[in-house]
């Protein structure tokens, strides 16, 4: 059996907590370090400085929890979610009437699930807190790391520092560090000093601001739907050409809403906040019937207008001592709802590769002390190198898909071309299942296929549909030409014969 190692996880969000759970289930000594105070405390401010509580969890995240070795975890988490079976597109018809148009995500009725991020995080941390081989350290900021010596330094925010002095700093040793500390990862920053990392960061010209749709105040406890102002089983979208407004349900009947818009449009509204309700009436019809104008103005003025960043890098590791996962490795824009799901999938894939290599004995002499001392590190180095080779192509693929889906959500969802392709792919999926056709969204959200494979298969399906469409357009001309040739075959034959006889 592999000797227990000391594994340090930096970042106690859902991905970091899941990584710690995977490590602890394998008998390792685990320490989790988090920059913020205890994330189970409602007063703790998230890193994005908002109180956003809604995320969408789908098959990849669910599957990662399914393999975490905690039988009750998945049941507990899923019992608090709200299934969203599709998008609800809101708009105004040419006659001026408001409309809602439901678009199911999947022809087989599968759904993604709205989940309370804080509740998910609390459940994971509570499990870790009750494990004898896990220690949790909050208010600990990573300030330095030496991945050759396997040492790290943390600043401890214990409230005792004065204006003239810093917080005290501690140093720790470890066998293996997992960085799950977000898009602005300190682990990644220090990792760059030890490995030749290719790194790309891109801010898109879109900011986001959070709004809140309150639940209906009702005494009707018999009908759980009565507290919702609109369907809780949909992701609600008000699309626009350059911007959009979305709403995701919470189990208390409220909706967490988000405005995505170019920075210039935010600047224009910031110069005249009183125009916010009129802007919503013009571009997001029906919203002011759900959220009063004064609340829209208050949220716009109070909540930060935050940027969206996409991060790609490679490799993800150094030797046997460090790996980065989740947003630390591949932060993405939120338009596919795959950020947390991809991060959790990172954890599952990473530990499956670690497990595979932990059973490889590179020594011909099992009793050799030097071999047993270096064995776990050697095997882990092989595993991390493999993970760094196989995971980035999929991570980069979902980064690109997330950016593409922004265009789809804000404009394509209303296009006839988009709806026709979706219908044809779903029709093929139902009536010719052996061909394996699915929509791109279904492959991303309801399967564990590699993201790059999803793109390749979707592109292939698209080419087949285009070729089939062109074939249908050309078929009348082909049939007409064939009939013409048959009818005048003798004349045509004589003409070609005469041509051949020309000198």
Q: At 206, phi and psi to the nearest 5?
A: -145, 130
The answer as to whether 500 is a domain residue is no
The answer as to whether 498 is a domain residue is no
Are the C-beta atoms of 430 and 107 separated by less than 8 Å? yes
Are the C-beta atoms of 143 and 155 separated by less than 8 Å? yes
Question: Which pTM value belongs to this model?
Answer: 0.88
Q: Are residues 63 and 207 in the same domain?
A: yes
Q: Are residues 423 and 387 in the same domain?
A: no
Q: Are residues 384 and 419 in the same domain?
A: no
Q: Are residues 481 and 371 in the same domain?
A: no
What pLDDT was estimated at residue 46? 63
| pLDDT at position 148 over 70 | yes
The answer as to whether 453 is a domain residue is yes
Q: Are residues 92 and 158 in the same domain?
A: yes
What pLDDT was estimated at residue 142? 98
Q: Are residues 346 and 433 in the same domain?
A: no
Q: Which tokens in the block code for residue 457?
A: 């298969």
**What's the CA gap between 124 and 20, in Å, rounded?**
9
Q: Are residues 194 and 114 in the same domain?
A: yes
What pLDDT was estimated at residue 483? 65
* pLDDT digits 0-9 by tens, 192-251: 999 999 999 999 999 999 999 999 988 777 787 889 999 999 999 999 888 899 999 999
* pLDDT digits 0-9 by tens, 50-82: 555 578 999 999 999 999 999 899 999 999 999
What pLDDT was estimated at residue 359? 75
* pLDDT digits 0-9 by tens, 420-465: 888 888 888 888 888 889 999 999 999 999 999 999 999 999 888 8
Q: Are residues 461 and 324 in the same domain?
A: no
What pLDDT was estimated at residue 245? 96
**What's the CA gap between 120 and 116, in Å, rounded?**
6
Question: Could you tell me which residues are beta bridge partners of residue 116?
Answer: 54
The answer as to whether 381 is a domain residue is yes
Please, what is the average pLDDT of the chain? 89
Q: Are residues 288 and 349 in the same domain?
A: yes
Q: Are residues 355 and 449 in the same domain?
A: no
Which three-class secondary structure state does DSSP give residue 174? coil
What pLDDT was estimated at residue 106? 93
By percentage, how much of the chain surpasses pLDDT 70?
86
The answer as to whether 387 is a domain residue is yes
| CATH number, domain containing residue 319 | 3.50.50.60
What is the number of structural domains in the chain? 2
The answer as to whether 43 is a domain residue is yes
What pLDDT was estimated at residue 370? 42
Q: Are residues 309 and 420 in the same domain?
A: no
* pLDDT band for position 478 (cuts 50, 70, 90): low
What pLDDT was estimated at residue 369? 45
What pLDDT was estimated at residue 373? 45
What pLDDT was estimated at residue 408? 75
Residue ranges making up the domain that contains 465: 415-485
**What's the CA gap between 232 and 83, in Å, rounded?**
8
Which three-class secondary structure state does DSSP give residue 6? strand
The answer as to whether 491 is a domain residue is no
* pLDDT band for position 270 (cuts 50, 70, 90): very high
* pLDDT band for position 49 (cuts 50, 70, 90): very low
- Helix axis angle, 276-283 to 293-302, nearest 10°: 110
What pLDDT was estimated at residue 81? 96
* pLDDT band for position 377 (cuts 50, 70, 90): very high
């Amino acid at each position: 059996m592999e000797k227990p190692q000391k594994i340090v996880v930096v970042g106690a969000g859902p991905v970091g907590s899941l990584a710690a759970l995977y490590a602890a289930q394998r008998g390792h000594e685990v320490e989790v370090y988090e920059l913020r105070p205890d994330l189970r405390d409602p007063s703790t401010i998230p890193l994005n400085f908002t109180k956003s509580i809604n995320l969408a969890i789908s098959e990849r995240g669910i599957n990662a929890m399914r393999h975490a070795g905690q039988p009750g975890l998945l049941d507990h988490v899923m019992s608090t979610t709200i299934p969203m079976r599709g998008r609800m597109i809101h708009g105004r018809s040419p006659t001026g009437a408001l409309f809602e148009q439901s678009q199911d995500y999947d022809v087989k009725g599968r759904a993604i699930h709205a989940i309370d991020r804080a509740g998910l995080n609390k459940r994971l941390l509570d499990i870790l807190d009750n494990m004898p081989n896990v220690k949790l350290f909050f208010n600990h900021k990573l300030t330095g790391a030496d991945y050759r010596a396997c040492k790290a330094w943390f600043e401890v925010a214990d409230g005792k520092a004065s204006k003239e002095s810093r917080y005290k700093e501690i140093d720790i040793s470890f066998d293996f560090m997992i960085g799950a500390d977000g898009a602005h990862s300190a682990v990644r920053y220090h990792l760059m000093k030890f490995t030749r990392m290719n790194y790309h960061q891109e801010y898109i010209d879109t900011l986001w601001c959070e709004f809140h749709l309150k639940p209906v105040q009702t005494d009707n406890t018999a009908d759980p739907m009565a507290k919702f102002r609109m369907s809780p089983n949909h992701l609600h979208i008000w699309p626009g050409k350059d911007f959009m407004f979305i709403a995701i349900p919470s189990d208390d009947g409220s909706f967490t809403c988000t405005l995505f818009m170019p920075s210039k449009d935010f600047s224009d509204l910031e110069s005249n906040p009183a125009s916010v309700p009129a802007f919503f009436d013009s571009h997001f019809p029906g919203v002011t019937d759900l959220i009063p104008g004064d609340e829209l103005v208050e949220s716009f003025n109070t909540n930060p207008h935050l940027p969206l960043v996409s991060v790609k890098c490679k490799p993800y590791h150094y030797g046997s001592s460090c790996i980065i996962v989740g947003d630390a490795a591949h932060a993405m824009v939120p338009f596919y709802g795959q950020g947390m799901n991809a991060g959790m999938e990172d954890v599952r894939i990473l530990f499956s590769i670690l497990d595979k290599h932990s059973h490889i004995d590179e020594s011909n002499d099992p009793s050799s002390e030097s071999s047993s001392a270096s064995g776990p590190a050697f095997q882990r180095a092989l595993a991390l190198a493999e993970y760094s080779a196989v995971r980035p192509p999929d991570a980069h693929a979902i980064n690109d898909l997330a950016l593409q889906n922004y265009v789809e959500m804000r404009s394509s969802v209303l296009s006839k071309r988009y709806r026709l392709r979706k219908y044809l792919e779903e029709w093929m999926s139902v009536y010719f299942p052996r061909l394996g056709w699915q929509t791109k969204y279904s492959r991303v959200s309801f399967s564990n296929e590699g993201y790059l494979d999803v793109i390749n298969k979707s592109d292939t399906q698209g080419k087949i549909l285009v070729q089939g469409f062109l074939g249908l357009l050309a078929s009348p001309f082909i049939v007409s030409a064939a009939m013409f040739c048959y009818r005048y075959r003798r004349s045509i034959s004589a003409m070609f014969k005469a041509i051949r006889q020309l000198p």
